[in-house]
Each structure stands twice: as structure tokens, then as C-alpha cells.
Amino acid sequence: MSTHVETPTPIKPSIYGLTLEQLTAWLGERGHKKSRAVQVWELLYRKRVTDFAAMEGVHAEAIKLLQDSFAIQTLTEHTKQESSDGTIKFLFKLSDGNLIETVMMRHKFGLSVCVTTQVGCNIGCSFCASGLLAKSRDLTSGEIVEQIMKVQLNLDSREQGERVSHVVVMGIGEPFDNYEHMSNFITVIKDHKGLAIGPRHITVSTCGLADKIREFADSDLQTNLAVSLHAPNDELRTRIMKINRAIPIAKLMDAIDYYLERTNRRITLEYILLKDVNDQREHALELAALIGDTRRALANVNLIPYNPVDEHSQYQRSTQESITAFYDTLKKQGISVSVRLEHGADIDAACGQLRSKQMKEA
């Protein structure tokens, strides 16, 4: 399916795309002290000011500089779906007319937001709604940060004192295919003078770009890492994830070993359960053997019940009996394993599903 995308209208870059260090340097080059940058930063992220003119106490000259050079709001809310379990799925329109999804989920430990990093996705996992439409561009770090801000502003409007406490970078797109903007985004949201979302409350998910996993291990981002494995052998993984042709399991596991050695941090191996495809006992035993003794201490398998993309999906959801049996088999092999809690089952639950539906109706 081809999708016409209008030529982007030139707009000012998002102020949210700057880290505090970058904002300090930018204002410093124009004659303003670091304290001015901190003042603007706290107004943006603590006071959630969305208009430069409303920044009380900021010198008029600095206001004019910011107004001339940056925008605060570049996303508009196109559609919002609210689930009975408190999940909210937002469809945002970008300045160029493209649509992206952002999801807020309620957990016992707090409010988590799943952000998108690309418009579409080129990885092409056969079970994923996000890949139904090819990637047209990367998001800027400002556009990724603004997703968090839009959700937080929505929470503020309800006047219940709630705040976004956790972030998962596993919406539409492959975060490691947009590495620089993804890294900048994390630096912005974890800054203690702003949103102050702790790095241990941030998880980045990748389909397995081995070189970027190594780069991530060497970075100072210190966030959690999740790897979409979804199969215990090359034949099966290649069938459902075409990325495996370029990065087979052995190469991926070498990168994972590097990450574990460098960081000594736990890693999550995501495994979506597809009925009669990868959900049998022999697959669980093969997965346990792949993890082995050396990775066992720092690896957790997260089993994901499949949400069909649409009525024409080639895959079906595993039965509860199969999910339980798979879980029990891994447990008996000494593997740390969990089953992902489902959110938004009464709305367009699968990642990319709402966007895909809107694009079809357009």
C-alpha cells in the first residue's frame, strides 16, 4: 500500500530537542548565563509552560531569542482512545502531517508511557502492526520528548497530581535505527532538573541491531535494555523476523554477551507467543538452552500474548494452556520468566494498530 506524504512545512525546531547542556551552550553563545538556561528548563519541564511568552521572570530578550528560534508545540492530538483499565492511546499528528502513536499505561508501580521513535518501520517483523507501513522518516529527539510532555499535560488537566514515572521506548519504529535522537531523548527526560525520570525506569527495546547494542553498552545512558528475540533458532526467527537474515542469533547473542559483561545489568528477552508457530514445549526447551548457564543470571524472558493485527492476520493468539505450559517449562529449566500484563484490550491494543487503521480510513 502506498501512502502519500505531504512535503513537510518548514517549522522551527522543537525546544524539547535540546538537552540542558545544549540549551545552556546555545543561550551562552548569545550572552546569557547558565542560570537563564536552568530557569527556562525548569519552566518547560517542571511548570510545563507551553508558550514562551508565558515564561514569567525570563528576560524579554531571551524570550524573543527563543520565540524566533524554537517551537514548543509541534504535535497535535488527532485521536485518543481510553480503555476501561486506564490505558490511554494517543494518535498524534506531526507538523508534516504524519501520524504516530503514544501509549500511557497504568501499573501498580506507576504510570508508564510507550513512545514512538520513527514514522513507520523498516524492520518488517511479520507479526507486527508497526511494520505494515514502511518507515518514511526518523523522529527528532524533540518530537520524542514532546510525546511525554503531551501525556503529562493530559494528566495535569485532570488535576489528580499524577506524573509519568516510567518510559518504554518500544512504540513504532526501531529505536537503535534512530540512535542519536533516541540518546538525546533519554538525556533530556532523565535530567534531575526537569522530568527526572530515573534511568532504571527507562527501557529501550531493539529487534537486535548488534552493533548498536554494543554502542549502547558503552554509553553512559544506564537505562534498561529489552531485545526482541521471539524465536530460539535461526530458521524460525528468520521466518517471522527478516532482520535475522542480516543479524543471525549467534551474532545477536555475542552482542548481548558484550552488553552483559560491560554493564552487569539485567536484560529482557522479549518473546511473542504465536499459536503453533513458536509456542511449543520444544521451543521453550530450545530457548532455555540458548540462554544457557552464562546468561541465566542476568536474563529475564518476557512472554507476550499475541494481539492479532486485524482479521486477516496470518497468526493467532496462543491458548492460555500453551502460554502456561511455556512459562512452566522455562521455570523448570531455571529461567527467570514473566508474562506481560495486557493493557488496553478493549481498544486498538497492538502497537501501530490505531495508526494503521486511521491510514486505511484516510
State pLDDT tens for residues 28-75. 999 999 999 999 999 999 999 999 999 999 999 999 999 999 999 999
The span from the CA of 352 to the CA of 281, in Å, is 30
pLDDT at 126: 87
Task: Tell me whether strands 137-138 and 118-119 are parallel, antiparallel or unpaired.
Answer: antiparallel
Domain boundaries 15-69, CATH class: mainly alpha
| Residue of 6, 82, 101, 159 marked catalytic | 101
> Looking at 121, 125, 207, 351, which residue is catalytic?
351
- Which CATH superfamily groups domain 76-361? Aldolase class I (3.20.20.70)
Q: What pLDDT score was predicted for residue 313?
A: 78
As a whole number of angstroms, the distance between CA 54 and CA 58 comes to 9
Q: Which residues of the chain have pLDDT under 50?
A: 1-10, 352, 355-362
User: What pLDDT sits at residue 172?
Assistant: 93
Contact 101/352 with Cβ under 8 angstroms?
yes
Q: Across the chain, what does the average pLDDT equal?
A: 91
| Separation of alpha carbons 116 and 352, rounded Å | 9
Residues of CATH 1.10.150.530 domain(s) within the chain? 15-69
What cell was used for 176? 537503535
Enter the C-alpha cell of residue 279.
Answer: 509456542
Whole-angstrom Cα distance, residue 150 to residue 102? 9
Helix axes 34-45, 20-28, angle to 10 degrees: 140
The CATH 3.20.20.70 portion of the chain extends over 76-361
Q: Does residue 102 contact residue 151 with C-beta atoms inside 8 Å?
A: yes
How far lies 284's CA from each of 151, 231, 247, 273, 330, in Å?
38, 9, 22, 11, 6
Whether 101 is catalytic: yes
For the record, the C-alpha cell of 86 comes out as 486506564
pLDDT at position 94: 97
Does 207 participate in catalysis according to the annotation? no
| Nearest by Cα to 69 from 105, 106, 32, 113 | 32
The answer to whether the beta carbons of residues 141 and 181 sit under 8 Å apart is: yes
Asked if 21 contacts 174 with a C-beta cutoff of 8 angstroms, the reply is no
State residue 170's pLDDT score. 93
pLDDT of residue 345: 60
